[in-house]
Amino acid sequence: MPKIDKKLKAIDFFCSGGGMSFGLQKAGIKILAGIDFDPDCKLTYEANIKGAKYILKDVSKLKEEFLEDELDIKKNDDSLILAGCSPCQYWTIIRTNKNKSEKSKNLLHEFHRFIKYYNPGYVIVENVPGILSKHKESGLDKFVKELEIQGYEVTYDVVNLNNYGVPETRKRFSLIANRVNKNKIFPKPKKTKPVVSDFIGEKNGFAKIAAGHKDLSSFMHSVAGLSEKNIKRLKLTPKNGGSRKSWADTDLQIDAYKKTGSNISFNDTYGRMSWDKPAPTITTKFFSLSNGRFGHPEENRAISIREGATLQTFPGTYKFIGKSISSIARMIGNAVPPLYAKQIGEVIIKDYE
């Protein structure tokens, strides 16, 4: 790990299990604190982000001056970075229940309160692509305009993280605002695009396991159980990228897909990943076959908790602490891949120096 440059420091809003914090820390930035209202993330964050505080608060109810006293930070500090990676499922392009995520739609505005108050040197935003495609409704237009009025040079784009060394086809909105010297800064894509076999499989330290396997070690190579019917379905699904079409005309077909035309919807569900392609986006439900192409490329099971974390570029030593597979998977799926966060940190450090 590089020597931490104490000149640059960051506060990670909506930090979840610490993906952004961990990546920035690996780049050489001191993490002062992570802020999140989810108590399930506290132990995981504190176990991995050494030297940082976990502030268990709802940002929408947090007063700006609270951080001044709690973290001893000052306004107009060029070396301060505020990162905001809010869980804006409300603006996702994936069809979800918007009622459940109603509260998340205004988190960009809540984050901006702190930017206006502290006027940090740099601002980072990472979010779903829908925040840009719905830029007026999401408040992005207003957010960017106010940053520019405040004196920031703002650079943003929707990027496929596979172009940045992450073995997923994960598209995300990324923004970096720079007040220090008005340079446009943004990570540059890498020349090579990694695939599933670069990160998981026996050659990468993942033993073969069966559905329902529980790994009680901190490695957490644990996997959800499967019904006998689902195991039969996987056995009929061709290895290395096969889909549920292979058993569509058998008695194993799922009732919801029996209607005319419905079989072409959600083609990835119950499918296997391919060794030689990037994984699909690792979501909060990656441990479940029915929620995407999350079948192991050749074993008759979904991918494990550690495999999902590894595809999100968390190292094997990263400790996940939670009450259940689903709570840990939520932290992993919501995370900013640390490898990408590190690249964001590196371009800020280079600019600052």
257 CB-side CA count, 13 A:
19
- The pLDDT value recorded for residue 131 is 81
88 tagged catalytic? yes
In terms of pLDDT, which residue wins out, 336 or 101?
A: 336
Q: Identify each DSSP E strand in 150-253 by its residue range.
A: 153-160, 171-178
Average pLDDT estimate for 63-81: 96
Average pLDDT estimate for 190-196: 96
pLDDT mean across residues, the chain: 90
The two domains 5-193+336-352 and 200-312 share their CATH topology (first three levels equal): no
Task: Pull the structure tokens for residue 206.
Answer: 């993942």
Q: How many other CB atoms sit within 10 Å of the CB of residue 300?
A: 18
pLDDT in tens, 113-125: 999 999 999 999 9
Residues 6 or more apart whose CB falls under 8 angstroms from that of 47 comprise: 319, 321
Whether residue 81 is predicted with pLDDT greater than 90 in this model: the reply is yes
Task: Pull the structure tokens for residue 347.
Answer: 């371009």
- The pLDDT value recorded for residue 89 is 52
Q: How distant is the alpha carbon of residue 83 from its chain centre?
A: 14
Whether residue 90 is predicted with pLDDT greater than 70 in this model: the reply is no
Average pLDDT estimate for 236-250: 92
Task: Pull the structure tokens for residue 284.
Answer: 């909060």
Quote the longest CA-to-CA distance of the chain: 66
State what percent of residues in the chain have pLDDT above 70.
Answer: 89
DSSP for 259-302? STTGGGTTTTTTPBPPTTSPBPP--TTTT-GGGSS-B-SSSSSB
The Cα 334–Cα 85 span in angstroms is 9
pLDDT in tens, 140-153: 899 999 999 999 99
Q: Which CATH number fits domain 5-193+336-352: 3.20.20.10, 3.20.20.60, 3.30.420.40, 3.40.50.150?
A: 3.40.50.150
pLDDT in tens, 12-35: 999 999 999 999 999 999 999 999
The separation between the first and the last C-alpha atoms of the chain, rounded to the nearest angstrom, is 19
- The pLDDT value recorded for residue 88 is 54
Nearest to 20 by CA among 122, 323, 349, 29: 29
Query: Phi/psi at 129 (nearest 5 deg)?
Result: -60, -25
Torsion of CA 241, 246, 248, 251, to 10 degrees: -120
Grade residue 133 by pLDDT with cuts at 50, 70 and 90.
Answer: low
200-312 — its CATH code? 3.90.120.10
Looking only at the bridges linking them, the beta strands covering 122-127 and 171-178 are antiparallel
Whether residue 258 is predicted with pLDDT greater than 50 in this model: the reply is yes
Structural domain spans, the chain: 5-193+336-352, 200-312
